[in-house]
């Protein structure tokens, strides 16, 4: 299902886990070297700076070739431009499949990323060009959705997964907005329900070993689901949407959305501490800042500079003393980087079984003695 070689991807997961063990002193240099030799990935995956540079270079090259071809063909109608775009988008996807991935074995090199983004964008844009000008936004989203899903599943791309989630959420909201007389009430709750369902789906998928190659995209969707769940019920978001779309100054069920605005960040933080979930804790702290900004927007207790200064000082002091405490007191929570989630437990077992436990014991080298005596010289001892 995924375009990349699964054995190579498994080798990457294994060596990444072993690298963390080696950095923590759990693996010796010899065992770390043995794991690298026994699990080669053979992918071209440069560092982030080279990846960005290759992506920019590939983008310039692709669109320069597109512009040059456009000058020779010169399509003189909207349908001609759309078909021209569809053709080149298909060419770039084929180039991605058969050259970048299968032949050159690029994985996260910047070139395969840009070929995917450019090809999908040109194909979707070409199909959009065939639509009438008065087409509804829902139609545009429904056309883009299958291509985004295919990109996120086929290539395991994080940006495609994020675009798929945003497109799916937008489709749900647009469908809810089409229901007369109930759209105002359905919009926030439909966003909450979709976000909660996506979060549960992702959490279940992260526990499946067969989904290990999509873990990066699932983590991005998990983050977006938590953020969109809170944004769907935040009082400022609901009130501004009601004012912009329905002309209402006051949000309906204001008491519920005010309670939601304050309760959800506290729930995120509590559950993150209880389950030792770093993502929940970080999102909860971010939503806590949104609580302060939302309350400050409607109730001016302090001038904004004073409120920002006091809040920043409190956060800095809390972070400083928390870091000092966690460094001196080891326990369930620590300032140091923790271990991976349960998704990698089977990969860790594979490292142990195939490399550590599976290592054969080297037989001792027999000394070169002559005549069966106890001395290493040419003569025999008295036991000869």
Q: Which of 198, 194, 146 is nearest to 170 (CA)?
A: 194
The pLDDT of residue 225 is 96
CB atoms within 10 A of CB 72: 6
Which run of H or of E encompasses 212?
none
Quick one: DSSP state of residue 368? -
How long, in residues, is the chain? 384
Half-sphere exposure of 321 (CA within 13 A, CB side): 5
pLDDT at 139: 94
Helix runs in 74-136, H state only: 78-95, 111-129
**Helices vs strands, H then E, count in the chain:** 14, 0
Residue ranges, the chain, pLDDT below 70: 302, 329-384
Q: Report the distance separating Cα 112 and Cα 79, nearest Å.
A: 29
Q: Token pair of 151, please? A: 């990109």
Q: What is the pLDDT of residue 11?
A: 86
Which of 361, 371, 365, 354 is closest to 35 using CA atoms?
354
Please, which residues have CB within 8 angstroms of residue 29's CB and are 6 or more apart in sequence? 22
* Residue 349 confidence (pLDDT): 52
Tokens of 361: 């014991």
C-alpha angle 174-177-180 in degrees, rounded to nearest 5: 145
d(CA 79, CA 82): 5
Q: Which of 287, 279, 271, 272 is nearest to 232 (CA)?
A: 287
pLDDT (0 to 100) of residue 335: 61
Closest-CA residue to 342 (of 215, 221, 162) = 215
Residue 60 burial (CB count, 10 A): 11
Residues 32, 3: Cα–Cα separation, whole Å: 28
Per-residue pLDDT tens over the stretch 150-198? 999 999 999 999 999 999 999 999 999 888 777 788 899 999 999 999 9
Predicted pLDDT at 227: 96
| Per-residue pLDDT reduced to its tens digit, 298-321 | 887 767 777 778 777 877 887 777
Pair of tokens at residue 195: 């976000």
Cβ contacts of 199-202, under 8 Å, gap ≥ 24: 199/225, 199/226, 199/229
- Identify the pLDDT of residue 338: 53
Other C-beta atoms lying within 10 Å of the C-beta of residue 299? 7
Handedness of CA 229, 234, 238, 240 (dihedral sign): negative
> Rounded to two decimals, what is the model's pTM?
0.82
């Amino acid at each position: 299902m995924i375009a990349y070689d699964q054995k190579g991807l498994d080798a990457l997961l294994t060596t990444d886990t072993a690298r963390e063990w080696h950095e923590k002193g759990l693996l010796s240099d010899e065992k770390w070297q043995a794991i690298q030799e026994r699990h080669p990935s053979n992918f071209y995956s440069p560092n982030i700076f080279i990846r960005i540079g290759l992506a920019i270079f590939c983008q310039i090259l692709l669109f320069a070739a597109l512009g040059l071809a456009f000058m020779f063909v010169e399509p003189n109608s909207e349908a001609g431009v759309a078909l021209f775009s569809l053709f080149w988008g298909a060419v770039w996807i084929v180039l991605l499949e058969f050259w970048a991935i299968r032949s050159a074995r690029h994985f996260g090199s910047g070139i395969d990323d840009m070929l995917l983004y450019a090809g999908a964008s040109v194909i979707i844009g070409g199909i959009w060009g065939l639509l009438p000008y008065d087409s509804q936004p829902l139609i545009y989203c429904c056309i883009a959705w299958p291509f985004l899903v295919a990109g996120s599943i086929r290539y395991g791309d994080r940006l495609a997964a994020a675009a798929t989630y945003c497109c799916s959420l937008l489709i749900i909201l647009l469908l809810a907005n089409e229901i007369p007389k109930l759209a105002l009430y359905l919009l926030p709750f439909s966003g909450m329900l979709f976000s909660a369902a996506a979060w549960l789906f992702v959490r279940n998928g992260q526990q499946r070993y067969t989904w290990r190659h999509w873990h990066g995209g699932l983590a991005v969707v998990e983050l977006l689901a938590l953020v969109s769940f809170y944004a769907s019920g935040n009082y400022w978001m609901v009130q501004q949407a009601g004012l912009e779309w329905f002309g209402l100054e006051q949000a309906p069920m204001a008491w519920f959305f005010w309670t939601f605005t304050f309760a959800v960040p506290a729930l995120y933080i509590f559950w993150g501490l209880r389950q030792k979930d770093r993502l929940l804790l970080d999102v909860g702290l971010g939503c806590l800042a949104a609580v302060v900004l939302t309350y400050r927007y409607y109730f001016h207790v302090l001038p904004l500079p004073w409120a920002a200064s006091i809040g920043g000082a409190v956060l800095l002091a809390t972070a400083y003393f928390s870091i000092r405490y966690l460094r001196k007191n080891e326990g369930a929570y620590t300032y140091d980087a923790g271990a991976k989630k349960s998704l990698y437990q089977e990969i860790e077992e594979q490292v142990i079984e195939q490399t550590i436990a599976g290592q054969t014991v080297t037989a001792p080298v027999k000394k070169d003695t002559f005549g069966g005596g106890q001395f290493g010289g040419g003569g025999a001892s008295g036991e000869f």
